[in-house]
Structure 1
Amino acid sequence: MRMAYVLFDQMTTLDFAGFYEAVTWVGILGAKERVSWDFCSNKEQVTDDRGLSINIQPQLVCPDLSGYDLIFIPGGQEGDHQSIGI
């Protein structure tokens, strides 16, 4: 399973971190083989709703999301199509 975490300005990091924690345990416990994920964004650095800045690997800025099995978009203050960039 290929997953994309879509990160954007004004997202709520706790929403992202809670889901990310659960998914990493799926791999650690071997409950699902070959789980992989990428962190995606419409820019190289995003700032969450509390001012925390997160840097994104440049090759995953504005990726084509059609190749993913699951796309996770955390909650946030500005979570519309324009701010998310998809």
Structure 2
Amino acid sequence: MKIAFVLFDGVTFLDFVGFYDVIYRLNQFECSKGVTWDICGLTDEITDELGMKVKVQKIRPHLADYDMVFVPGGLGTRKLRFDETFVNWLREAQDVKYKVSVCTGSLLWGAAGVLQGKKATTHPRAYDLLAEYCDVVRERIVRDGNVITGGGVSTSIDLGLYVIEWLAGVDAMHEVKQQLDYPYLPPKVVEILEA
């Protein structure tokens, strides 16, 4: 599996790092070895909403070449959803096997048309913005077919654990929880089965 982590100016780095720190552990398990990833953006350096900077590995790669595309949230999403260059780039992931977001990253999937006819979630303070694009489910994690969305910032770890369990099994998820010293019970996950 090849994963693209999509970053942008105004991202909340905890959205990204919470998921990343969990999901990179897929390579520990026999059934999910061989996972690779790229940290991607439209420019070579991204500045988060607090001023922290990070270098990206791939500048505007073709997102259709990935198996999973992950989009974090952040204050920058409010304006970025109207940025045609970014939204058109994200549209390249329309046929990617797994489309994942946490927090207001779902607004960007919505702007790219990925959430049309789907159910999704986001940060509770952005439910009204997400309603423009899809049916909003007020839960921490929603999986509608191959689109998986998570709630606010802290959900990034829960979301990563859900994806680990989904791809590598419940034992793998419990092993990662122990590695992280993560004592919390998994949140309710709303799963919409495709017809």
State the TM-score bracket (shorter-chain normalisation): 0.7 to 0.9
Which stretches in structure 1 are left out of the alignment for 5+ residues?
Answer: none
| TM-score normalised by L of structure 1 | 0.86
Shift of residue 28 of structure 1?
A: 2.9
- Hey, what's the Cα distance between the residues in 2 that align with 1:11 and 1:18? 13
Q: Which amino acid in 2 is paired with 1:4?
A: A
Which stretches in structure 2 are left out of the alignment for 5+ residues?
Answer: 90-195
- The answer as to 2:41 corresponding to 1:41 is yes
Report what 1:14 is aligned to: 14
* 3-state DSSP of counterpart to 2:37: strand
1 or 2, which has the higher helix percentage? 2
Shift of residue 34 of structure 1?
A: 1.0
Report what 1:62 is aligned to: 60
Report what 2:74 is aligned to: 76
- Hey, what's the Cα distance between the residues in 1 that align with 2:8 and 2:24? 21
The change in CA–CA distance for 1:29 and 1:83 in structure 2 (over 3 A counts) is farther
Residue correspondences, number: 84
The change in CA–CA distance for 1:83 and 1:52 in structure 2 (over 3 A counts) is farther
- % of aligned pairs identical? 35
